Structure 1
Amino acid sequence: MRLSAPRIAPLADSEMDADQRELTAPMAATGRVLNIFRTLARTPKAARGFLAWGNYILSRRNDLPPRQRELVILRVGYLCKSGYEWTQHVEIGLRDGLTAPEIARIKQGADAGDWSEDDRLLLRATDELHTDKFISDATWAALSAHFSEKQLMDLVYTVGQYTQVSMILNTFGVPLDAGQVLDPDLKGF
């Protein structure tokens, strides 16, 4: 984590106005409002738009299979040095079919051994989008042999969404939620 204290602190329940409580009510009904949403609740109108797009990315309407979507999200979180993002999505990735050894290898990227061709291409494309904001012709052609046009679009949407999320988390200094532990490789960032 880059900051030792939040620049914009998550709202406590007692600090929320009616609009903020309405925004977080569906999350509260599940028993937990994560710090990211407690922070975003400070701007409820922006948060609603953000949540609508984020819900698309994490839904079945995104044609990337959940395991591969999480592979991409974790790579973005690691590249952006977003301890909060990484921590949240390790749990989701495990639930969606990634193994602990695969999650550890995500940090090394596409050239780490034992990736399927599909996974290697998704990691390479994620790295290219991160560094150049563009997928090269060679990588695009290789991806096109494995993924549909909609899946390719959803790949770019997913990388873009989680790059934005990482920028928000890092810059606002959103702290980990209770009980979470920061990955040692992301300490000091």
Structure 2
Amino acid sequence: MLNNYAPRNVEVAGPAIDISTVCKGGGIGVDTGTSLTTPLVAGALMVLRGKYPSESNSQIRERLRSTAISMGDSQKSGAGRIDLLGAVNPPRVHIEGETYARSPGLYRYEAFPSGGNGSYTYQGAVRYPEIGSGWGNLGASKTQDLNSAEGGGNIELRVTVTSAGATAQSTLYITNSTGCGTEIIC
């Protein structure tokens, strides 16, 4: 990594070593330097401006910063290396599974992420709002198994997906009708 930094002016880092470039007189060459980084970062900002035309300059800058991949020393690399794919295609997630628990037992739910850089981590959480419980940790798996107990109250399942430092959440609301016979609402 090459840098030209002072304690408070680096927001993000961009590629600066072995950058493909067009050579004078034709052909493709490879060069190194911060002068090559500047147009790459500016180009990334313009791609974001085109993708999100109603966002302010501050929002566009924050989008580029918040999706950057950490490189360790923030004094030298700011928020990290720009990740244009992560910035234009942030992660999203939805949960699939039964939304009505009609009988006590185990129910399986699966998170389906998209966007980001294609590599995901997962964090599941559950709560039972009718009995006043807070969010409980379910673990770091794409699939989550919930045990529905008779009369246990409705259930909220939340999955958080992280990809390249950006996160997305989805919550599925599950009606627990166990103990109600065939009625959905007790």
Q: Normalising by structure 1, what TM-score?
A: 0.29
More helix, by proportion: 1
Q: Normalising by structure 2, what TM-score?
A: 0.29
More strand, by proportion: 2
Higher relative contact order (CA 8 A, sep 6+): 1
